[in-house]
């Protein structure tokens, strides 16, 4: 099967492909039919229709919530259920339903996306999902054990992050949004150090990780934003405070626990809500063209002005050299960390703090922070210095005794691409003529802070 897919892909990339194949490639792709759901307010409603009493859009529950236990075959003749214990079955499900391509480097650069749609399409086809979602279609017994795993095990990806307004998740249903546990974001360095990432997570319409930590149910948007009762908006959904320990709760019961504003009309819906999962993993990516100094001469010896630099305690999103993290300041802070100091301010966390460490600190349930850093092959030595400094980074979690620290491993990847003639290569830009790329992945995992560590701020001149 793998060889067949590879052969098919080679045909698409071959300029000598016969005309018959070319005509096939140009055929219009049929539009996907909208899935037919049953309104959760009326179990007798026809497929794709809503109850006449329902006034809420996306009032849909997963099929698993409405499967009668008596209709599930016991699978007494299936070794998966009779021989393999539940713990091993879960490991098999996790392996089969976890995406293995989401962490691959070599994403399409912004210039490619805007100037060559064919190249973008070919890239996206080569990055097709490899998780075995057809496993959920085998039988009801397997479906009931696995229907949540594709969402819980895999991050929601934002490969072209441009702020929250243009990066809203393409999740249709409240129960799907509730089960998201990890995010994968590729962004510019200015967005990382400025307000964009902070707003994406914590603005009035952001992901609201702190609300998820306290306990909320995810409902369709019902007109409630930030109320005295504790409700808030998250993307296109309403988060209702969880006053119960139940994993699922009827919308009407969740609204009963709120101090609703005067004149608020409760929606006519009897749908059930899913309790939101906390945000436990975050992947941040800097592609080769996302750095402040990505166009600077790679042979320059002026580290302060032209080398790659990244520091979680520095930067405000502006190009001001006195504010953004230079390679020189990055290495100075790394040395002070080696001496036992921590350059994270002890003042209350605020949006106006420099750098992006305070953004990570406000994620109460974070267990893993993954940084994927890419650059051109000509800047490999500069990237190695960034990684060497990153090994010393610590991310204290606010109001806890825990922090994120380097797990001791660095994943290395490299790849090449063919030289493609465009206006940049014709102008002679070195980066346009570069065909070799380097990537490093470092992970920071949650651990308890070491006792007796020096709690002083570093001083960088």
Residues 375-390: tens digit of each pLDDT: 999 999 999 999 999 9
Cβ within 8 Å of residue 194, ≥6 positions away: 315, 316, 317, 318
pLDDT-based confidence at residue 164 (cuts at 50, 70, 90) = low
Summarised one tens digit per residue, pLDDT across range 108-157 is 444 444 444 444 444 444 455 678 889 999 999 999 999 999 999 999 98
Q: What is the pLDDT of residue 54?
A: 59
Kindly state the DSSP code that residue 63 receives in the 8-state scheme: G
Kindly state the DSSP code that residue 60 receives in the 8-state scheme: B
Average pLDDT, the chain: 80
Query: Do 389 and 333 form a contact (C-beta atoms < 8 A)?
Result: yes
Query: Do 436 and 414 form a contact (C-beta atoms < 8 A)?
Result: yes
Kindly state the DSSP code that residue 388 receives in the 8-state scheme: H
Q: What is the pLDDT of residue 26?
A: 43
Name the residue with tokens 């962004």. Answer: 187
Q: What is the pLDDT of residue 123?
A: 47
pLDDT-based confidence at residue 227 (cuts at 50, 70, 90) = low
Task: Indicate if the pLDDT at residue 208 is higher than 60.
Answer: yes
Phi, psi of 249 (to 5 degrees): -150, 145
Every domain of the chain and the residues it spans: 204-275, 281-448
Tell me how far apart the alpha carbons of residues 217 and 254 are, in angstroms, rounded to a whole number: 8
Tell me how far apart the alpha carbons of residues 339 and 333 are, in angstroms, rounded to a whole number: 10
Q: What is the pLDDT of residue 366?
A: 97
Q: What is the pLDDT of residue 422?
A: 79
- Closest to 399 in 3D by CA, of 138, 213, 174, 123: 213
pTM of whole model > 0.85?
no
Tell me how far apart the alpha carbons of residues 12 and 21 are, in angstroms, rounded to a whole number: 8
* 3 state DSSP class of 172: coil
Task: Indicate if the pLDDT at residue 174 is higher than 70.
Answer: yes
Q: What is the pLDDT of residue 53?
A: 55
Give, to the nearest 10 degrees, the angle between helix 380-390 and helix 327-338. Answer: 30
Q: What is the pLDDT of residue 236?
A: 84
Residue 441 CB coordination number (10 Å): 19
């Amino acid at each position: 099967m793998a060889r067949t897919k590879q052969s098919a892909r080679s045909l698409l990339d071959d300029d000598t492909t016969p005309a018959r194949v070319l005509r096939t490639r140009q055929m219009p792709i049929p539009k996907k039919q909208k899935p037919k759901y049953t309104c959760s307010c009326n179990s007798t409603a026809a497929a794709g229709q809503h109850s006449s009493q329902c006034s809420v859009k996306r009032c849909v529950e997963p099929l698993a919530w409405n499967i009668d236990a008596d209709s599930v075959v016991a699978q007494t003749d299936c070794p998966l259920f009779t021989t393999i214990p539940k713990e091993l079955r879960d490991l098999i499900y996790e392996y089969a339903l976890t995406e293995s391509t989401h962490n691959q480097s070599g994403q399409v650069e912004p210039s490619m996306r805007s100037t060559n749609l064919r190249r973008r399409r070919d890239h996206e086809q080569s990055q097709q999902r490899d998780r075995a979602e057809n496993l959920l279609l085998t039988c009801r017994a397997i479906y009931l054990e696995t229907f949540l795993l594709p969402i819980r095990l895999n991050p929601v990806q934002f490969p072209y992050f441009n702020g929250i307004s243009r990066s809203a998740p393409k999740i249709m249903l409240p129960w799907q949004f509730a089960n998201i546990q990890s995010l994968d974001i590729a962004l510019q360095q200015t967005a990382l150090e400025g307000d964009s990432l902070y707003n994406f997570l914590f603005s009035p319409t952001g992901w609201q990780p702190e609300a998820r930590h306290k306990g909320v149910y995810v409902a369709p948007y019902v007109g409630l934003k930030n109320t005295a009762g504790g409700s808030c908006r998250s993307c296109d959904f309403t988060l209702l405070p969880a006053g119960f320990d139940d994993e699922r709760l009827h919308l009407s019961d969740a609204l009963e626990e709120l101090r609703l504003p005067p004149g608020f009309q409760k929606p006519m819906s009897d749908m059930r809500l899913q309790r939101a999962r906390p945000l436990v993993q975050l992947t941040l990516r800097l592609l080769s063209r996302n750095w402040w100094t990505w166009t600077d001469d790679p042979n320059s010896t002026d580290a302060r002005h032209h080398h790659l630099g990244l520091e979680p305690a520095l930067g405000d999103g502006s190009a001001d050299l006195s504010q953004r993290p230079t390679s020189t300041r990055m290495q100075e802070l790394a040395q002070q960390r080696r001496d036992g100091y921590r350059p994270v301010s002890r003042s209350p966390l605020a949006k106006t703090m420099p750098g992006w460490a305070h953004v990570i600190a406000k994620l109460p349930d974070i267990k893993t922070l993954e940084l994927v850093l890419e650059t051109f092959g000509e800047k490999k030595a500069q990237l190695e210095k960034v990684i060497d400094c990153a090994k010393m980074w610590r991310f204290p979690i606010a109001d806890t005794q825990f922090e994120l620290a380097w797990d001791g491993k660095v994943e290395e990847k490299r790849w090449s691409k063919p030289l493609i003639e465009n206006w940049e290569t014709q102008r002679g830009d070195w980066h346009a003529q570069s065909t070799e790329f380097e990537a490093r992945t470092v992970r920071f995992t949650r651990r308890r802070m070491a006792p007796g560590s020096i709690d002083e701020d570093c001083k960088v001149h």
